Structure 1
């Protein structure tokens, strides 16, 4: 007996949906379809504090399509959650209400701890964590969640307001560019360093785990730029090499020569530098990329 469910992740850089079948017998979860709409809520929220009219209209149209998909694919239950950008938007309740009116879909605005818990749930189903101490890094558009696990048990999680879209807006506001990224990172190092130090001081991590679209993209870039496989993990040395190669290319070149999407080409270097910074702080040499994220965690939460 299986039932069809869908999960919607309303992030700061995009809105993503996944439709899956849940079954009481193995393999328990079968993914039917994934969708991604490049709706950058973070641009408005991190510059003006609210979701603007134009972005609101695009989001409404996206949710109309998602509601039609739910109907067409006979989805029995849909869970939609909003993260960093919505958490901070002054008009978040108007947004939630507008989406409900046009699509019938109810949005939950979740905090960073719940976000970390759901992503950890997805990772736990995909990566064997038994007997390992791990650090999970989820790079979003508005925030970064850093979660520590001892075996499959989550022991600490913290959300930092240093997501990729937020970093871009911060650079633009201060008339800086990518070459100034380390200045922005430096402003978060004390708080980030404290969280890492508290959790790895006497017990270092065996490896890091990276989630989010940018991490998956970095795995593919390892194959494309460095001609090394597999794409499912990156060493710190390889990450540094990828950053150097990307920095040598303009955003236009990243789109034309590497085939990156427009809304990936401008955030990929901030994402890579964030991961590099966190790995250096934790003194870990390897990051595993399981290609799961918040949507997968939402699906499992309905199991």
Structure 2
């Protein structure tokens, strides 16, 4: 017997989805992810990811503004993303800008230009909202029940350190010590990668206070790392150490990866490890930031769930 029209309709209803996109305007790149959200379950299916190497942080952290050249590149990137959204049937897009855009003196010019030329509205969010969205992505991916965890998001302009008791976020703080900012700080002082500890030492007091306040009497069970640099470090575990899986790192493994990377020039990281140029120069600062935070929190393991701000943005649109 054929199913009734009502039954067919109800079955189809279970698979109704919306195609939406999320754009993360960071200090090192502008990334977009398109996903189908199945609201009844709910779950998301990633359709496509895009990345444009637009280093807004270089401008802002050295000159205080997004330069005309970068504005043009960003404009072209958003026009391309808007066209992609239309071609792939995206019904809703949310775009957020973080550290570099927060500090840019011509922030309004940037936001207005992108809206006028692409129709995409940019929200400039603070570090707390950034931490909340990343936490949302992580708790959708990992089972955090009955565990205390520390989330570390390494960006180009800032680092967000968030504490979670079970699935509940209990504290988050943003620190202006991202990878691009560190590189620009080194260049400004005519220092090299070997002097990284000098730069990081300037932030260690505030960072240590945040960690001490949230895990001294109640230590974390593990850390969770998000962002492209963490995902790259997971891949380097296989590439450099010949170990698996790539979904977590021990502190000892991370330290060994740092030693191996520091023995290679940026050019060699590109040629021998096949890292993108805009990853090869920031990967050591990123790894050392993670190492410092893990040591401060006295935790030996960091999970790498391969989700981040864009995933949190997608979930936030449900």
Equivalent residue in structure 2 for 1:222, among 233, 237, 250 = 237
Instruction: Kindly state the Cα deviation for residue 23 of structure 1 after the two structures are TM-superposed.
Output: 1.1
Equivalent residue in structure 1 for 2:163, among 145, 148, 165 = 148
DSSP-derived class of the 1:118 partner:
helix
Paired with 1:9 and 1:300, the residues of 2 have a C-alpha distance of: 14
Paired with 1:243 and 1:23, the residues of 2 have a C-alpha distance of: 40
Q: Does 1:125 align with 2:115?
A: no
2:226 paired residue number: 211
Equivalent residue in structure 2 for 1:168, among 174, 178, 183 = 183
Instruction: Kindly state the Cα deviation for residue 26 of structure 1 after the two structures are TM-superposed.
Output: 2.9
DSSP-derived class of the 2:108 partner:
helix
Deviation digits for residues 126-157 of structure 1 (CA, Å, limit 9, x no counterpart): 01100000000000000000000000000000
DSSP-derived class of the 1:71 partner:
helix
DSSP-derived class of the 1:257 partner:
helix
Paired with 2:67 and 2:56, the residues of 1 have a C-alpha distance of: 8
Paired with 1:293 and 1:4, the residues of 2 have a C-alpha distance of: 19
2:150 paired residue number: 135
Q: Does 1:281 align with 2:296?
A: yes
Equivalent residue in structure 1 for 2:305, among 290, 297, 301 = 290
Instruction: Kindly state the Cα deviation for residue 27 of structure 1 after the two structures are TM-superposed.
Output: 5.4
Instruction: Kindly state the Cα deviation for residue 113 of structure 1 after the two structures are TM-superposed.
Output: 0.1
2:201 paired residue number: 186
Moved more, 16-25 or 260-269: 16-25
Moved more, 215-224 or 22-31: 22-31
1:12 paired residue number: 27
1:37 paired residue number: 52
Paired with 2:37 and 2:236, the residues of 1 have a C-alpha distance of: 32
1:90 paired residue number: 105
Count of aligned pairs? 303
Q: Does 1:51 align with 2:66?
A: yes
2:124 paired residue number: 109
- Any stretches of 5+ residues in structure 1 without a counterpart? none
Paired with 1:43 and 1:133, the residues of 2 have a C-alpha distance of: 36
> Under a length normalisation based on structure 1, what TM-score does the superposition of the two structures give?
0.99
Paired with 2:140 and 2:98, the residues of 1 have a C-alpha distance of: 22
Paired with 2:245 and 2:43, the residues of 1 have a C-alpha distance of: 27
Paired with 1:238 and 1:26, the residues of 2 have a C-alpha distance of: 38
Deviation digits for residues 82-102 of structure 1 (CA, Å, limit 9, x no counterpart): 000000000000000000111
Equivalent residue in structure 1 for 2:192, among 168, 177, 196 = 177
DSSP-derived class of the 1:159 partner:
strand
DSSP-derived class of the 1:197 partner:
helix
Paired with 2:219 and 2:161, the residues of 1 have a C-alpha distance of: 15
Q: Does 1:199 align with 2:214?
A: yes
DSSP-derived class of the 1:141 partner:
coil
Paired with 1:27 and 1:81, the residues of 2 have a C-alpha distance of: 23
Deviation digits for residues 223-272 of structure 1 (CA, Å, limit 9, x no counterpart): 00000000000000000000000000000000000000000000000000
DSSP-derived class of the 1:50 partner:
coil
